[in-house]
Structure 1
Amino acid sequence: MIAETGLMARRPGYYALRFVAVAVLYAGGWTAFALAGSSWWTLAVAAFLAVVYGQVALLAHDVAHRQVFRLRRATEVTGRIAGNAGIGMGYGWWQDKHTRHHANPNHEDLDPDVAPDLLVWSQDQARAARGLPRFIGRSQAYLYVPLLTLEGFNLHVAGVRALGDRSLKKRALEGTLLIAHFAVYAAVLFLVLPPGMAVAFLAVHQCLFGVYLGSIFAPNHKGMPILTGKDRPDFLRRQVLTSRNVRGGWFTDLALGGLNHQIEHHLFPSMPSPHLRKAQILVRRYCEELGVAYLETGLITSYRQALASLHRAGAPLRGTHTAS
């Protein structure tokens, strides 16, 4: 049904306009940075660029899913320019991680996005937690937003660490682009601004970038059922039951890059993001016919559910044993 409607067809005009718009905002932000010079107004520019970096990340996401180009080479070149060179994100590392997430969303053993790191995502993970996750897990629902300020830094560090993995494709190219990004970024900051102001800019920019990324991805799966062991339902249920859609209009689509239609994106990952809203009508009706639960909430409700789930997951660490 989806194929017959033409919703899988690529949208070169749409993506050309989107790439140009984001490139203009990117260049405009750094131009404003240069014009502001040694002024505390530069922190406003840092906040603006945090949002722009988030939009670049969303474009890299669509590119990686082959929504933009048919050819693999065009996809990889554009993805590395946007990811590695543009925002200092290891494109190859992220693509591998994200592919594994799509194959088994919210599966404790197979989805790297719910692996216990700083946070625990289930009560079983909480019981097995040691060290920092055990300490943070007690209050992780309250610490979640503050911890998101580190997500931008984590993205950079993970990309650099992945360069040590010999299985990573085009390691030399990825490393060169990452180092070039960090070198140019640091040089621009410390040549234009006094040291203290440069550090303040870096902190505001990277911390808000992390919060924006977290606000985009948290509503998608956090607070949805966690799968474990051999609990792997069929493809439709594996994708739909672990995903949440977020209601909203054009602004929500813009801010979340279309990922507010997470169910449709997981069922049809190569579908161009502007088509996801139209696909929702067919997907919701199909799920109703099969009796498959289809969840869509408001944005604030999605955050509330995600934080409530984190609080429940940490219950064993607080000595309270509510149901998983």
Structure 2
Amino acid sequence: MTSRVESTVGATRGSDYAVLCRKIKDAGLLKRRPGYYTAKIIANTVLLLAGFVAFALLGRSWYQLLVAAFLAFVFTQIAFVGHDAGHRQIAGSRRVNDLLGVLHGNLLIGLSFGWWVSKHNRHHANPNHEGRDPDLGGGSVLALTASQGESRRGLTGRVLARAQAFLFFPLLLLEGLHLHAASVRALMGGPARRSRAVEALLLGGHVVGYLTVLFVVLSPLQAVAFILVHQCLFGLYMGCSFAPNHKGMPIITDESKLDFLRRQVLTSRNIRGGWFTDFALGGLNYQIEHHLFPSMPRPSLRRAQRFVRDHCRLHDLPYLESTLVGSYTQVLRHLHTVAAPLRTADAE
């Protein structure tokens, strides 16, 4: 299998980060939580089966679009477990995490686990680092940095960039389809890996089964509508869960001289909220803690927050928290600001 998103505990012994690591370890927050993840996987399985039962009972009906919306929610919850498996949060065994990852990613929701882990490894190592963080890739429709905004060429690219703050949420509707397409491309033309054949088989099984069931049970028009509703809402939910984490936060360049602690804290944003926020965002609302301790099990992130917040205060590090709505406001404001030079140039 591909390499995992590894924890960096102990990587900077004697540093400010190492001091925090010792506190986190002593509190037992890095210990695996098999009971939690067993319950989470069972709950997701029950929800998925409930969706299948509803689909079977409704048959050829336009009410199936409600099932499509429900399954978009379930698929995202499944994706969160795949994310945790990629970080080795679930089990101490790499093989078990890999198995859970490909089952949740490739088989259940049709995304390549190996491709995602490789991409996510690079993101965690270089969050918001222009030129190194794949989530800031220049191939994005959105201009996420000032240099990307200034480099937009062609009428379509410039028009999209100028209006990107208004187009952000509509574009997220396409995120699910983009992830599926990127997964297929990675498995067809990516570097050779031992797991690629297994991943391709599982992902292919998902696609064939998904399309076969839809077009056998539903009319062609209903099947297409189901796919659009399901995949667009899946992409929207996924995008809305990940977007608040780093967008609008400081951009790092090669000239930036930051240690691991500061690189992770300064580029991440937490979302305030209670248990429902934790559930809805899959623990990604504790983005600062997650980036500092990638292998920390999801239910331990809330408890770690007190240690991290106090440590940041001790070292005069800004610890940014926002409401969910407030985070989207910051993201949209950032996108609007990045595109300002284009609007100015086109107005002249």
Question: In 2, distance between residues paired with 1:253 and 1:195?
Answer: 38
- Deviation per CA, 1:234-273, whole angstroms, max 9, x where unpaired? 1011000000000000000000011100000000000001
Cα shift at 1:168: 4.2
The one-letter code of the counterpart of 2:310 is: R
1:34 corresponds to which residue?
Answer: 56
Deviation larger for 173-182 or 263-272: 173-182
- Note if contact 1:92-1:169 (Cα within 8 Å) is conserved in structure 2: no
Residue 137 (1) aligns with residue 161 (2): yes
The one-letter code of the counterpart of 1:123 is: A
Cα shift at 1:320: 6.1
1:206 corresponds to which residue?
Answer: 231
Q: Decide which of 96, 119, 129 is 1:107's aligned counterpart.
A: 129
Unaligned runs of 5+ in 2: 1-22
Q: Decide which of 236, 246, 252 is 1:221's aligned counterpart.
A: 246
1:60 corresponds to which residue?
Answer: 82
Residue 126 (1) aligns with residue 149 (2): yes
- Deviation per CA, 1:157-203, whole angstroms, max 9, x where unpaired? 00010011124442111111111111000001000000001100000
Cα shift at 1:70: 1.0
2:341 aligned counterpart, secondary structure:
helix
1:252 corresponds to which residue?
Answer: 277
- Deviation per CA, 1:276-304, whole angstroms, max 9, x where unpaired? 01100010000000001110011100000
Q: TM-score, normalised by structure 1?
A: 0.97
- Note if contact 1:126-1:317 (Cα within 8 Å) is conserved in structure 2: yes
- Note if contact 1:120-1:133 (Cα within 8 Å) is conserved in structure 2: no
Question: In 2, distance between residues paired with 1:94 and 1:198?
Answer: 28
2:221 corresponds to which residue?
Answer: 196
Cα shift at 1:314: 1.1
Question: In 2, distance between residues paired with 1:129 and 1:169?
Answer: 39
Residue 284 (1) aligns with residue 309 (2): yes
1:231 corresponds to which residue?
Answer: 256
Question: In 2, distance between residues paired with 1:240 and 1:305?
Answer: 17
Residue 97 (1) aligns with residue 122 (2): no
Question: In 2, distance between residues paired with 1:250 and 1:165?
Answer: 39
1:5 corresponds to which residue?
Answer: 27
The one-letter code of the counterpart of 1:200 is: A
The one-letter code of the counterpart of 2:93 is: L
Cα shift at 1:229: 2.6
1:105 aligned counterpart, secondary structure:
coil
Question: In 2, distance between residues paired with 1:189 and 1:272?
Answer: 36
Question: In 2, distance between residues paired with 1:19 and 1:66?
Answer: 15
Question: In 2, distance between residues paired with 1:134 and 1:229?
Answer: 27
The one-letter code of the counterpart of 1:31 is: V
The one-letter code of the counterpart of 2:178 is: N
1:170 corresponds to which residue?
Answer: 195
1:261 corresponds to which residue?
Answer: 286
Cα shift at 1:135: 3.2
2:336 corresponds to which residue?
Answer: 311
The one-letter code of the counterpart of 2:176 is: G
The one-letter code of the counterpart of 1:312 is: T
Q: TM-score, normalised by structure 2?
A: 0.90
Question: In 2, distance between residues paired with 1:23 and 1:96?
Answer: 26
Cα shift at 1:40: 1.3
Deviation larger for 308-317 or 280-289: 308-317
1:319 aligned counterpart, secondary structure:
helix
Residues 204 and 286 of structure 1: is their aligned pair in 2 closer, same or farther, counting only changes over 3 Å?
same
2:5 corresponds to which residue?
Answer: none
- Note if contact 1:123-1:315 (Cα within 8 Å) is conserved in structure 2: no
* Same amino acid, percent of matched pairs: 55
Aligned length: 321
- Deviation per CA, 1:58-100, whole angstroms, max 9, x where unpaired? 0000011000011111111110010000000011000000110
- Deviation per CA, 1:195-251, whole angstroms, max 9, x where unpaired? 001100000000000000011001111111111233241101100000000000000
1:108 aligned counterpart, secondary structure:
coil
The one-letter code of the counterpart of 1:36 is: L
Residue 154 (1) aligns with residue 167 (2): no
Residues 232 and 37 of structure 1: is their aligned pair in 2 closer, same or farther, counting only changes over 3 Å?
farther
Residue 14 (1) aligns with residue 36 (2): yes
The one-letter code of the counterpart of 1:148 is: L
Superposition RMSD in Å: 1.2
Question: In 2, distance between residues paired with 1:184 and 1:232?
Answer: 50
